[in-house]
Amino acid sequence: MLLMLCLCGLDSAAQKQGQEKIDSLLKVLNNYKAPCDESCIMDSVKVNLLNDLSNAYQYDESDSAVILGNEAFNLSKEINWQIGAGDSYYYIANAYFHKSNFNFAIDNYLNALNVWNQIENTNSVYKAVVVKIKKPSTLKNIAGAYRMQGNYLKALDYLFETLQLAEKSGNKDVVGAALGDIGLIYRANGEYDKAIEYYNRSLKILQNTGNNSLIALLLGNLGSLYYNRNDYNKALEYANKSLDLHQQLDQPSGVARQLGNIGNIHYDHKEYNKALEYYFKAIAIQEANNYKYELAINLGNIGLLYNDIKKYTDAEKYLKRALKLSEEIGDLEGVKENNSTLSNLSFNQGNYRKALEYYQKAIIAKDSLFNEERTAEITRKEMNYSFEKQQDSLKAVQDKKDTITQQEIAKQKIIRNSLIGSSAGLAFIGFLGFVNFRNKRKREKAELSQQVSATEMKALRSQMNPHFIFNALQSIQTFLVSNKSEDANTYLLKFSKLMRAVLENSQHGEVPIKDDKQALELYMQLESIRLKHPFTYQFHIDETVDIENDTIPPLILQPFVENAIWHGLQYKPEPGHINIYISKKDSALHAIVEDNGIGRNMSKQVAQPMLLKKESLGMKLTEERLKVLNEVKKTNAQFKIIDLFTKNNEPAGTKVELLLPLVA
């Protein structure tokens, strides 16, 4: 009770500060006197005051923000002041957004965007602030409104446009925020590794800019993502960090959000009373501030909890409230989840007709949210953005080369003119040319030798990749037999991405660690789904390793991970874990694959003969690859397998240590 009062006090303080700002602006507006006669009373200063008031009222339950914004817009039109009209549209849109009226919000954001485009195409003094701040912020908010409606494709369209504009104009705060929002979409689509990638990129930028408000949101999102991955310790760590920062910033929305997230963690630990305590604190803040979207989420969570503990009357009450709110604000995810839980609730109560009705509604909402075409489109849009960015980068590189070429031509002219008549100079130049020619031939010969060895390496990969693909297909077959069509679709989608990564990486002798890591993660995700007891994994990459530029042979770690799964973890009676460590040691990369499975000796006793044969093949291929690698690099790449034991000398897993030369 005391903590709840403190939270209410925090919320009241925030409302009080907002009211103080409103009172101050109203005082200025009421005392405002035009600097000229009646004909110019409606000038830009008054428009700014009205827009500032509209912005101050955006969280208010009344229509004050919209009314003030419209008044500011009308004044702007009367004095033909475009920037004021654009701001009016923007603040009106914000007001609708916070009321969860996303359709009206989008309409007004688009009107603001139209104004910004007009200003951008002129020589207005406001052009710079429009391009750097107003336009990218508006594009990002349009994306946010579409995302809240579950329209992820539209959201991505605007987010990638936001990124291109914000990066070009140098607005790092918007770049960081947009990257974080893309992470949210990938998280909603179940692609957690992609989400973490974008969250980390976002966090790195925002920490440099010192934008604590966005950092607080991002920390909360990271906590939610780790919660989705069942890593409750990290989830709680990030949720508490976000909660503390939101409290410091006096942001009731963020405080309520993290209270709900912490409630989720206690719920999953079956600490139901503790979970309800946090949920009710969260909804108290959300109801007081009319935060409909997040209120619907917590109401649904409370309903789900009551359903689990068989308090069906309470469950139905909260679930229906949550469903009504979700339908009201157009949240398809909420509509799907609440209908699904109500279907389960009705079934438990013996009302099968009602259960079927709710189930059908849940399926309709789900089909609107996720299908194979949407997921493929999300990937396509990211590829388009990456391609366009790469093209811009290539153009910049080419422009730089052209400049250097022109400078070199000019330089050669000077050298040529200065050497005219100097036979000694010409002889010297000739000698240099001979030395360069000889060195060039030596390099070409070395490169030719390297290409021969690379061809041999490619032949080995052509043997390994079918072996790898066969294992993945076998996993799919095992999974599909279980008759879980929904999960099978997710599995097949990940498999298609994995195949694309394998085929792309196989075209190169070495690939960046980042690319190989992504392929390996996809493989582990597929195998984890297949096993009776899904396992977890974690990469530990030393800060000295540059995953963007340091390279390794593709799929070189995969056989070790595969053995850890097939021979160590799949026979384990509870969920296992794989740790992958990558660090630099002198002029080589040091990689470790460590599992907490049943160990090699026990595996030999329980594994099928076919699996043991497969392990032998995988190790043999890896040994051959390392042998060729050593011939090419003149190094001593090697691996060793270490059996792990407890203090009581019981098997505790296996560790593989791999030493690889750094690829120049």
* Average pLDDT of the chain to the nearest whole number: 76
What confidence score (pLDDT) does residue 348 get? 83
Say yes or no to pLDDT of 37 above 70.
no
Using alpha carbons, select from 338, 244, 260 the residue that is nearest to residue 294: 260
Question: Number of C-alpha atoms within 13 angstroms, CB side, residue 137?
Answer: 17
Tracing tokens 């000796």 back to the chain, one arrives at: 601
pLDDT bucket at 507, cuts 50 / 70 / 90: low
What confidence score (pLDDT) does residue 368 get? 67
* Six token digits for residue 318: 């909260």
What confidence score (pLDDT) does residue 386 get? 52
Burial pattern 191-200, b for ≥16 Cβ within 10 A else e, equals bbebbbbbbe
What confidence score (pLDDT) does residue 275 get? 93
Using alpha carbons, select from 207, 217, 203 the residue that is nearest to residue 253: 217
Say yes or no to pLDDT of 284 above 90.
yes
pLDDT bucket at 485, cuts 50 / 70 / 90: low
pTM summary value: 0.47
CA torsion sign for 182, 183, 186, 188 is negative
* Pick from 73-87, 97-111, 419-433: least confident: 419-433
* Pick from 14-23, 106-115, 377-386, 644-653: least confident: 14-23
What confidence score (pLDDT) does residue 379 get? 54
- Full strand arrangement of the beta sheet holding 638-645: 536-541, 577-585, 588-595, 651-661, 638-645
d(CA 220, CA 347): 35
Say yes or no to pLDDT of 416 above 60.
no
Say yes or no to pLDDT of 48 above 80.
yes
d(CA 548, CA 435): 36
What confidence score (pLDDT) does residue 657 get? 92
- Greatest mean pLDDT among 47-61, 198-212, 329-343: 198-212
* Pick from 62-76, 223-237, 604-618: least confident: 604-618
Mean pLDDT of 302-330: 91
Phi and psi torsions of 588, nearest 5°: -140, 160
Cβ atoms within 10 Å, residue 476: 17
pLDDT bucket at 102, cuts 50 / 70 / 90: confident
What confidence score (pLDDT) does residue 136 get? 92
* Three-state DSSP class for residue 281: helix
Say yes or no to pLDDT of 562 above 60.
yes
Pairing outcome for strands 577-585 and 588-595: antiparallel
Tracing tokens 């099928």 back to the chain, one arrives at: 608
Mean pLDDT of 73-102: 88
Q: CB of 659 within 8 A of CB of 636? A: yes
What confidence score (pLDDT) does residue 600 get? 80
Mean pLDDT of 263-280: 92
Q: CB of 294 within 8 A of CB of 255? A: no
Stronger pLDDT, 604 or 523, i.e. the higher one: 523
The secondary structure of residue 571, as a DSSP letter, is T
CATH of domain 433-661: 3.30.565.10
What confidence score (pLDDT) does residue 459 get? 38
Instruction: State percent of the chain over pLDDT 90.
Output: 21
Mean pLDDT of 38-43: 50
Using alpha carbons, select from 359, 363, 311, 304 the residue that is nearest to residue 332: 363
Say yes or no to pLDDT of 15 above 90.
no
Burial pattern 74-105, b for ≥16 Cβ within 10 A else e, equals ebbeeeebbbbbbbbbbbbbbbbbbbbbbebb
What confidence score (pLDDT) does residue 473 get? 62
Say yes or no to pLDDT of 105 above 80.
yes
What confidence score (pLDDT) does residue 293 get? 84
Bridge partner residues of 590 (DSSP): 583, 659
Stronger pLDDT, 650 or 656, i.e. the higher one: 656
Using alpha carbons, select from 447, 585, 562 the residue that is nearest to residue 509: 447
Stronger pLDDT, 409 or 303, i.e. the higher one: 303
pLDDT bucket at 238, cuts 50 / 70 / 90: very high
Cβ neighbours of residue 215 closer than 8 Å, sequence gap 6 or more = 203, 206, 207, 245
Span 299-308, pLDDT tens digits: 999 999 998 8
What confidence score (pLDDT) does residue 12 get? 29
Phi and psi torsions of 502, nearest 5°: -65, -45
What confidence score (pLDDT) does residue 647 get? 85
Span 421-473, pLDDT tens digits: 444 443 444 444 444 545 555 454 444 445 434 444 443 444 444 545 555 56
Span 514-544, pLDDT tens digits: 888 988 888 888 778 767 777 888 999 998 8
